[in-house]
Amino acid sequence: MQLEIVGPGTLERISNVISAIAPRRAVLVTGRKSYQASGAEAPVEKALGDVEVERHVRSSRLLTPEEVRRGASRFEAFGPDLVVAVGGGGVLDLAKLVRFFASNPVGVKSPLSSTQSTVRRPPPLVAIPTTAGSGAEATHFAVLYEGVVKRSIAHEWMLPDVAIVDAQLTTSLGEHDAASAAADALSQAIESYWCIHSTAASRESAQRAMELALVHLPRAITERDLESRAGLAEAAHLAGKAINLTRTTAPHAISYPLTARYGVAHGHAVCLTLGSVLEANAEVTADDVQDPRGVVHVQSVIQDIVRLLGALDPAGARLRIQDLMQQMGLATRLREVGVTSSADIEFVVSHGLTEERAGNNPRRLTEDQVRKILIGIW
């Protein structure tokens, strides 16, 4: 059971959390700049004042197996009894993976995999996000890249033991980074809601995440007031809890080559196709439905999403998402983010239908359908 501490100013409670764990040695995983810029440094270092600390700074733009192996080797040698991770989704994922594979080193010496036989439970992890988007503090999986191929590794022991979600830590984010993170939160909520693995519990979290995000966007990005940032941070956390139960779907699958090859920020890359995939999913048929609950169920949840977006039909929902992106300063056309040729389109098509995520989509999408979606936003 995860301890969730959510709300502005909640980082002040980290001293109580660490005192209760009473560690002797801790690994501190951070980003290169966000740790100090977010305001997390002073309270975290004070809470760790009597603890021997080894700091691990994330070094790569996209998390790779090599970085995880290096970190796991250092972690294993140091032997901590606590991990504290402060940063965006990539930092939290690095902490989850390093902690898991240092405690279960078989996977570090071979291809990283969560299907290996586990050896021992890792030490507790306190996850402190400095962005409102990824929800990584609420999930039992993490992502890494091998070239342009994205992999997800999941295990129940990768779920952080404590999540401290303090919206005050997000106020130093630049506008584009904050907008991309917010787009990720909205996308995760919508995808979780329509995912073939959705449950009543996951849809409850996803719906609340959508409602909060839609109330507080784009004000949380453009005006940065704490009330809106707090609402967005809660939305991101709830979206993380939802995808922890369901995983993500086709827009995430299509996003990975956009991020790996063209450098599009993750949340922005996902949201680029979100509205178009929503329209495509609304056209589900008995021949291509992937949800075992059938066509009527899929059409019902798509209509729920349309309603929550304040639209009358899927086309209106797509335009609503596009409008939100524009208000947040995010490009809505592929050619604006470096996808400038038909060869680029074909690259995304060929790498954007991985079974790992597209298989969760309520409708089975073909390469031709994905190509049509991409050309439509070119």
| Structural contact between residues 370 and 272, judged by C-beta atoms closer than 8 angstroms | no
- Fold for domain 3-169? Rossmann fold (3.40.50)
| Structural contact between residues 122 and 87, judged by C-beta atoms closer than 8 angstroms | no
| Structural contact between residues 278 and 187, judged by C-beta atoms closer than 8 angstroms | no
Model confidence pLDDT, tens digit, residues 40-53: 999 999 999 999 99
Distance CA 233, CA 33 (A): 20
Residue with tokens 């809601």: 193
Distance CA 29, CA 35 (A): 9
Which parts of the chain register pLDDT below 70? Answer: 105-119
Closest residue by Cα to residue 150 from 358, 378, 351, 377: 351
The domains of the chain are located at: 3-169, 174-376
Distance CA 99, CA 110 (A): 16
Neighbours of 77 (CB within 10 A): 9
Q: Extract the tokens encoding 65.
A: 């197996």
Report how far apart, in Å, the C-alpha atoms of 361 and of each of 34, 77, 281 are: 34, 42, 8
In words, the CATH class of domain 174-376 is mainly alpha
Q: Are the folds of 3-169 and 174-376 the same?
A: no
Distance CA 339, CA 330 (A): 15
Q: What is the reported pLDDT for 110?
A: 46
Model confidence pLDDT, tens digit, residues 192-206: 999 999 999 999 999
Q: What is the reported pLDDT for 108?
A: 42
- From the number of C-beta atoms within 10 Å of its C-beta (0-12, 13-18, 19+), residue 147 rates as exposed
Report how far apart, in Å, the C-alpha atoms of 86 and of each of 2, 156, 181, 295, 299 are: 17, 21, 16, 42, 40
Neighbours of 172 (CB within 10 A): 17
Q: What is the reported pLDDT for 118?
A: 65
